[in-house]
Chains A and B, each alone.
Chain A
Amino acid sequence: MISIIVTKELRTLFASPLAWVVLAFLQIILAWIFLTRVDYFLTIQAQLERVPNAPGLTEIVVVPMFGIASIVLLMSVPLLTMRLVAEERRNQTMALLMSAPISMTQIVLGKFLATLAFLAIVAGLIVMMALSLRLGARLDLGLIATNLIGLLLLAGSFAAIGLFVSCLTTHPVVAAIGTLAAFLVLWLANIAASDPDSPLHLLSLLKHFENFMNGSIAVTDLIYFVLLTATFLILSIRRLDADRLRA
C-alpha cells in the first residue's frame, strides 16, 4: 500500500514543473562546483605531490560537492515538501486518502519515502559525477560512501521535518517558509553557542553532517539523524490523526 502512495506522490510531483526545475537547478550548481574543483585540483596537483599525506582527489573535488549539496538541499527541500499535505488539504483531496482503506502511518510513510526517493535522485547525480573521475583517476570510494550515507540521512531528516510542517497548515507557502525557518534553526544551532562544549552543538545538523563528510560514521550521529526523522514522522502521523479527531 505504501508503494501506491509513493508512486502517486512521485507522479504528481513530476507532473508539475517544480520537480524538473529543482533538479535542473541543482544539477547546474553542482556541475559548476564540480568543474571548478576539478580545475583547482589540476592547478595544485604538482604542489600536492610534494606534500606528505596530502589530501587526495576525493577530498578536494567530491567532498566539497556534498557540502554544497547539503546547503542546496536545505534551500530546495521546503519547496518539495510544502505541497505534501498542505496542498492536499487546500484542494480537499485528502478525503480520497482518508476514506481509502489505508492507515495514517501508511500515508505519512508513503509521502516521506516519495520525497526521499526524489532526493536520492539528487544524491545519485552527485555520485555519478564523482564516479566519472574514475575514468582517469583513483577515488577513495569509502569516503564517497560515507558522504552519500550522510547526505541521505540529512535528506531524510529534512523530508520528515518538511512533511510535519506541511501537516500544520493549509497554505503551501506558509509550510515552505516554516520549514526553511526550522532548517535554519537546526543548521545554525551551533553558531549560537560560542562555548565548544555547549549542548547546542548536539542539536546542530551541520555538526553531525560534518562527521560524515570527514569519512567517519559515529553511532551518535546515526542515532541523531534516525531519531530526528522518526520523531517528525510520528508527529506528522499524530497531527493527521488529530485532524480526524478534532477537525
Chain B
Amino acid sequence: MTTTASSELTVSAQGLSRNYGAHRAVREVSVDLRRGEVLGLLGPNGAGKTTTMQMLTGNLAPTSGEVRICGIDLIDLPTKAKSRIGYLPEVPPLYRELKVDEYLRLAGQLHKIKKSALKQQVERAKNRCALADMGKRLIGSLSKGYQQRVGIAQAIIHDPDVIILDEPTIGLDPNQIREIRALIRDLGRDHSVILSTHILPEVEAVCDRVQILHRGEVVFYDSIAGLKQFRGGQALQIGLHNPPPLAELAAAAADANIEAINANLFRVCPLGGVDPTDTLVRACVERNWGLYLLQPALASLEEVFVQLTQREDDQSEKAST
C-alpha cells in the first residue's frame, strides 16, 4: 500500500462540476489517484459523493471539467475508458431473476472478457468475494450482504485498473464489514480504489488518502496521517479519579490548553508542539491524581466537519473583508 511517485496515474479528474438546474451539486472537485492507492471520499449525505462517482464512471456527464482514466479521456473515448473501470453504485445493479453465475457471466461479457477466460474470471471474482457456494442461487433470494458481495464481484470481474465503490459496507453486519474492508485493502494493492462512505473510522481503516466533501466542494484532501493530525493533532484525553484544580493540571502539562469534559475527564491540547504525555503522567503519579485513562483525543466526523466548515467560513470572511 505504499505509494511511490513513480507509480502510474490511473485517475485524473480536474475541476469537475455538476449542476442540476440551479442547484450546484458538485463544484470544482479534482481527484488524482495512482495505482496501489485507496482513496476515501468522505462526506455527509448529500455532499456530492455519489454525483462525483457517477461522473468518474461516465454514468453522468460533468457540466465542466475532464476525467482521464489511465490517460484516456472519458468523454472523448467513453467505451475505451469505461473498460478500465469497475463500478459498484449505491444500489447494486442486480438482476434479481438471474442466478449469481449467470449474472457474473453477463457482467463479464459486457466488459468484453474473452469466452475462453470468462469461466475463470467468474470463479476468481466469486472466490475473492466469498461467493463460491452461491453460484446456483437466484440473486433475488440472497440476503443483503450477499447481494452486496455480488455487486462487488461484478465490479472486479474484468480486473479493472480503477475500482469505484459507492458505500460498499452499507447494510452489512460487523463481520461482513470486516471482510469487505479486508477485500478492499487487498484490491488496493494492485488496483486503484475509490470508495465513498460517511463513516470516519472506515476511511482510516482502509484508505491511504482521504478527500472530504461538503456541499459539493472539497474541504479536505490529504493522506490518512494528515487526517489523523487534523482530527486531534497531539491532543490527549485524560481521566483522573482525584482531579486537581484546572490550573494545577495546566501547570503540570507545561504549555497546554486544558478543557474539562466532565468532573473527571479532561482534554489536553499542547500548544508548543511539545508532547506533554511524559510530564503529565509523572505529575499524575507523584501527586496521586488517580490516572485511569490516557488516550489520543480524536475528533469524530461531526467535529471534523464543524472544524472544516468553520475554517472555510473564517477564510471566506477574511476574503470578503
* In contact, B98 and A15 (Cβ under 8 angstroms): yes
Q: Mark B79-92, 1 if CB is under 8 A from A, else 0.
A: 11011010101010
Q: Write out, one digit per residue, whether chain A residues 12-23 have a CB within 8 A of any chain B CB (1) or not (0).
A: 100110000000
User: B144 interface residue, CB < 8 Å from A?
Assistant: no
B93 engages A100 (CB within 8 Å): no
> Interface code B6-46, partner A: CB below 8 Å = 1, 0 otherwise?
00000000000000100000000000000000000000000
Chain A CB within 8 A of B257 CB: no
- The answer to whether A96 touches B97, judged by C-beta atoms less than 8 angstroms apart, is no
A91 touching B96, Cβ below 8 Å: yes
The interface residues of chain B lying within 8 Å CB-to-CB of A94 are: 93
- For residue B112, CB closer than 8 A to chain A, the reply is yes
Flag the segment in B102-110, B186-194, B308-316 that touches A: B102-110
- Among candidates B94, B106, B112, residue contacting A101 with C-beta atoms closer than 8 Å: B112
Query: Which residues of chain B are within 8 angstroms of A93 by Cβ–Cβ distance?
Result: 93-95
Provide the bound-state CA to CA distance between A84 and B179, in Å.
Answer: 36
Q: How far is the CB of A17 from chain B (nearest CB, A)?
A: 11
Whether B98 contacts A97 by the Cβ 8 Å rule is: no
8 Å CB contacts to B: which residues of A203-247? 244-245, 247
**A95 near B59: Cβ-Cβ < 8 Å:** yes
Q: Which residues of chain B are within 8 angstroms of A245 by Cβ–Cβ distance? A: 61
A244 touches B61 (CB 8 A): yes
- Chain A residue with Cβ nearest B20: A247
Residues of A within 8 A of B78 (CB): 101, 103
With A and B bound together, what is the CA distance between A130 and B107 in angstroms?
41
Per a CB cutoff under 8 Å, which of B59, B95, B111, B154 touches A244? Answer: B59
A92 touching B91, Cβ below 8 Å: yes
Partner of A4, one of B54, B82, B106: B106
- A100 near B82 with CB under 8 A, answer yes
Task: Count residues of B near A (Cβ-Cβ below 8 Å).
Answer: 30
Binary contact track B97-138/A, C-beta < 8 Å → 1, others 0: 110001000110111100000000000000000000000000
Q: With A91-B96, A92-B91 known to touch, is A100 a contact of B110 (CB < 8 Å)?
A: yes
Asked if A138 is an interface residue, CB under 8 A from chain B, the answer is no
CB atoms of A11 and B98 under 8 A apart: yes
Which of B36-72 touch A at CB < 8 Å?
54, 57-61
Chain A residues numbered 1-52 whose CB sits less than 8 Å from any CB in chain B: 1, 4, 8, 11-12, 15-16
Given contacts A11-B98, A15-B97, contact A101 B89 (CB under 8 A): no
| List of B residues within 8 angstroms of A100 by Cβ | 82, 107, 110-111
Contacting residues, chain A, for B111 (C-beta < 8 A): 100-101
Q: In angstroms, how far is the closest chain A Cβ from the Cβ of B150?
A: 11
* B57 smallest CB distance to A (angstroms): 5
Kindly provide the distance from the CB of A138 to the nearest chain B CB, expressed in whole angstroms: 46
Chain B contacts of A98 at CB under 8 A?
Answer: 58-59
Task: Compute how far the CA of A181 lies from the CA of B6 in the bound complex, rounded to whole angstroms.
Answer: 61
A103 and B95 contact, Cβ closer than 8 Å, known pairs A98-B59, A244-B60: no
Beyond A92-B93, A244-B61, A247-B60, 18 extra complex contacts between A and B, CB < 8 Å: A1-B110, A8-B106, A91-B94, A95-B87, A96-B154, A97-B110, A99-B57, A99-B59, A99-B89, A100-B82, A100-B107, A100-B111, A101-B80, A101-B83, A103-B78, A103-B79, A245-B61, A247-B54
B residues sitting closer than 8 Å to A (CB atoms) are: 20, 54, 57-61, 78-80, 82-83, 85, 87, 89, 91, 93-98, 102, 106-107, 109-112, 154
Interface residues of A (CB under 8 A from B): 1, 4, 8, 11-12, 15-16, 91-103, 244-245, 247
